[in-house]
Structure 1
Amino acid sequence: MYLADASDATRCKAFPTTLTKAAMKWFDSLPLRAVTSFDDFSHKFRMRFSIQNDKVKHAPSLLGVKQEVGKTLRDYMEMFNKACLEIQDLPTKAVIMGLVNGLRESPFS
């Protein structure tokens, strides 16, 4: 908001300071002189990251949640519950199948 009236160069310099993790990695991978203006920069950013937000998760994605070696059952349950919360209209049968499928071989399973 404070930079709304700032020059393109100032906005291009300030914007990367707001980035974290994947966005910063993407920014660091841009070739030199790949950005010609702030509008160009913001367009490239939106094209790269707005698409990822639209991905909808479905029940089969639970099959990828596995209890890792060295992780407790409690850790696995927390991770599994978070994955379940990302899926809308999740059938109970899919939850049970995903939960059992992801358990590491042990006396409990």
Structure 2
Amino acid sequence: MAKKFLARFSIQKDKAKHAPSLLGIRQGERKTLRNYMERFNKTCMNIQNLPTEAAIMGLINGLREGPFSQSISKKYPTSLNEVQQRAEKYINMEENSRLGETSKAGFTPRDKDKESRKKED
């Protein structure tokens, strides 16, 4: 009975993760850089003795084409801390541009009428 129990539940045990598992993490077409970095960092935390170079290569490999991936390809990072700092700049830019789009989208025709009245006054 003990063998059956162990056989049944040992299959469900989390398998150890290794550096090649980072290659499966990709930034989706509609996913934010913040979302991608969070998923990537979470996976990195589950890999013991992860070489810095492997982590950086995995991160770059999973990035979709965009400003951050172009920046990384121009000046290759030497540490994960550098990657995180550079990513934070692009995350902020991405979020600021999204806020700008939201405020423009919230501009209703009624607001346009108010603007034209102000100009006339």
Q: Which residue of 2 aligns with 1:65?
A: 25
Q: Which residue of 2 aligns with 1:106?
A: 66
Shift of 1:51: 2.5
> CA–CA distance in 2 between the matches of 1:98 and 1:55?
19
Question: Paired residue for 1:51, among 8, 11, 22?
Answer: 11
Size of the aligned set, in residue pairs, is 69
| Aligned CA distance change for structure 1 residues 106 and 55 (closer, same or farther; 3 Å) | same
Q: Which one has the largest radius of gyration?
A: 2
Shift of 1:54: 5.5
When the two chains are superposed, the root-mean-square deviation of aligned CA atoms in Å is: 2.2
More helix by share: 2
- Alignment gaps of 5+ in structure 2: 70-121
The list of structure 1 runs, each at least 4 consecutive aligned residues, that deviate by more than 2 angstroms after superposition, is: 46-49
Identity percentage of aligned residues: 65
Question: Paired residue for 2:51, among 88, 91, 96?
Answer: 91
How does the TM-score come out when normalised to structure 1?
0.55
Shift of 1:92: 0.2
> CA–CA distance in 1 between the matches of 2:57 and 2:50?
12
